[in-house]
Amino acid sequence: QVQLVESGGGLVQAEGSLRLSCTANGLTFSIYPMGWFRRAPGKEREIVAAISASGILTNYADSVKGRFTISRDNVKNTVYLQMNSLKPEDTAVYYCAAGQARAGISSTVYDYWGQGTQVTVSS
């Protein structure tokens, strides 16, 4: 049974930082591209960042480029999202997801999802 467990969300003031973590169990983590998504109140879910299985390639939504950094540790089966210079519009539930095994970073298919962690940025 595959499980993705996020942690690290919370309440932070604008311009502050948070680091989200997502630990995976039940899959061969090192062959899966991983992504971070978010859903803000009243909005569609959107992808924030993605990272290839090896960790070499990364992609970011334009809205977070230069502020967020995705990384992974394939020994610890964990993917991270470092969020700096947070803005109130970053407020959302953040989800990590595992793509298809051995897929490229450009794939839009994600097979497994975490339960989400709330990030709230106050102005």
**Which bin fits 49, alpha (ψ -120 to 50), beta or left (φ > 0)?**
beta
pLDDT at residue 105, as a whole number: 86
Residue 44 scores a pLDDT above 90: yes
65 touches 77 (CB < 8 A): no
User: Tens digit of pLDDT for each residue in 82-113?
Assistant: 999 999 999 999 999 999 998 888 888 999 99
Cβ count within 10 A of residue 116: 17
Choose between 27 and 108: higher pLDDT: 27
pLDDT at residue 84, as a whole number: 98
Q: Which residues lie closer than 8 Å to 2 by C-beta, 6 or more apart?
A: 24, 25, 26, 27, 98, 112
User: Tens digit of pLDDT for each residue in 58-86?
Assistant: 999 999 999 999 999 999 999 999 999 99
